[in-house]
Amino acid sequence: GAVVSQHPSRVICKSGTSVKIECRSLDFQATTMFWYRQFPKQSLMLMATSNEGSKATYEQGVEKDKFLINHASLTLSTLTVTSAHPEDSSFYICSASVSGVNHEQYFGPGTRLTVT
């Protein structure tokens, strides 16, 4: 149980285009989803926290107009990287939790984004 999927697992896009990454909780309803970014040999960096039906809360330094997060249902959250640039190339990981407060997070397998 508590499986989280991400799609796609890998994506290559050209500079200036937008790309959408999906995060789904397959066997539970996630009231809160988290989006992380991971650079090579570095920590996972929390980008934003999203609660179903409300606007995402972004961490300091994360551009909300560039990284659009939608959490329209209890099983799906999407991250759209708008007008992507090579510096946006990274590994993006989502996680989902049930109650959203002090509850275990279940992680997706990640999406490798390469912007050419």
Partner 1 sequence: GNSVTQMEGPVTLSEEAFLTINCTYTATGYPSLFWYVQYPGEGLQLLLKATKADDKGSNKGFEATYRKETTSFHLEKGSVQVSDSAVYFCALRGTGTASKLTFGTGTRLQVML
Q: Which residues bind partner 1 (CB under 8 A)?
A: 4, 6, 32, 34, 41-44, 46, 49, 93, 95, 97, 100-110
Between residues 78 and 95, which has the closer beta carbon with respect to partner 1?
95
Strands 111-115 and 44-51: unpaired
CB of 89 to partner 1, least distance (A): 19
Secondary structure element (H or E) that encloses residue 47, with its range: strand 44-51
Q: Give every CB contact of residue 47 below 8 A, 6+ residues apart in sequence.
A: 35, 36, 37, 58, 59, 62, 67, 79
Question: Distance between CA atoms of 37 and 16, rounded to whole angstroms?
Answer: 20
Closer CB to partner 1, 84 or 90, in the complex: 90
Q: How far is the CB of 17 from partner 1 (least distance, A)?
A: 26
Amino acid identity of 91?
A: F
34 vs 84, which CB is nearer to partner 1? 34
Identity of the residue, 35 or 84, whose beta carbon is nearer to partner 1 in the bound complex: 35
Please report how close the Cβ of residue 107 comes to partner 1 at its closest, in angstroms.
Answer: 4
